[in-house]
């Protein structure tokens, strides 16, 4: 990856850090801007955006910002700043929308984190350059497309089993957003990376049509 971060990536990281630090020390602030189904269904639609700049702790924040630092620069270098911003914020909203749909009958379900936006950026990177080498557990090299399919399958399992204190629905929604927006912005990928587009599209299409049935399986 790149050795230096683009200013737009650094700016988003700084905003995430500042807002998250505020939330660490001010629960009223966190509670006012976090994702919560009941509030969003009322007059709190802004939470679908603001929740993406809050995190529960330094580990949560650090993991997301490290992924953004690594993959964000790659996306900016390939697609440009404007398209990066479209994908980042589009994926953030897509993650919130999918979470809202999946947890629509749980008014007190709440979440925070940039995971949806970051997932979209990660998926853009994989879609543009599927053979990129990633390190699983920081040690095991795997191709990007293997990680992409595995990530989706694990998130589907996590949604069903509610594995850990993780917003798997936001991950999935963000990945869908990144996938769709990247193909809209760079349609030539349909011909240059056809196999990988199909491979990554299959679980996403299944989720769109059958995602709601996960809870009853």
Report the catalytic residues. Answer: 115, 171
Query: Is the CB of residue 125 less than 8 Å from the CB of residue 75?
Result: yes
Measured CA to CA, the distance from residue 60 to residue 62 in angstroms comes to 6
Q: Which helix (H) or strand (E) holds 133?
A: strand 133-136
Alpha carbon distance 199, 211 (integer Å): 18
For the chain, how long is the longest CA-to-CA vector? 50
Query: In this structure, are residues 113 and 55 in contact, taking their beta carbons and an 8 Å threshold?
Result: yes
| Tokens standing for residue 65 | 């910002």
**Could you give the CA distance from residue 34 to residue 51 in angstroms, rounded to a whole number?**
4
* Helix residue ranges, H only, 34-57: 37-41, 47-50
Residue 195: burial class (beta carbons within 10 Å; 0-12, 13-18, 19+): exposed
Q: What are the helix and strand counts (H, E) for the chain?
A: 11, 4
């Amino acid at each position: 990856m790149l050795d230096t971060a683009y200013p737009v990536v650094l700016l988003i990281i700084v905003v995430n850090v500042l807002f998250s630090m505020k939330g660490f020390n001010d629960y009223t602030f966190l509670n006012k801007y976090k994702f919560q189904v009941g509030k969003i269904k009322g007059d709190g639609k802004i939470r679908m955006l603001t929740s993406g700049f809050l995190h529960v702790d330094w580990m949560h924040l650090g993991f997301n910002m490290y992924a953004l630092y690594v993959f964000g620069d790659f996306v900016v270098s390939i697609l440009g700043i404007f398209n990066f911003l479209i994908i980042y914020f589009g994926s953030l909203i897509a993650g919130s929308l999918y979470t809202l749909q999946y947890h629509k009958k749980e008014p007190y379900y709440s979440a925070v984190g940039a995971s949806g936006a970051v997932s979209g950026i990660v998926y853009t990177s994989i879609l543009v350059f599927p053979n990129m080498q990633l390190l699983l557990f920081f040690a095991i090299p795997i191709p990007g497309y293997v990680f992409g399919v595995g990530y989706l399958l694990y998130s589907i399992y996590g949604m069903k089993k509610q594995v850990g204190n993780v917003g798997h629905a936001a991950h999935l929604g963000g990945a869908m957003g990144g996938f769709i927006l990247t193909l809209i912005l760079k349609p030539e990928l349909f011909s240059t990376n056809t196999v990988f587009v199909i491979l990554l599209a299959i679980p996403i299409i299944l989720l769109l049509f059958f995602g709601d049935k996960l809870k009853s399986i």
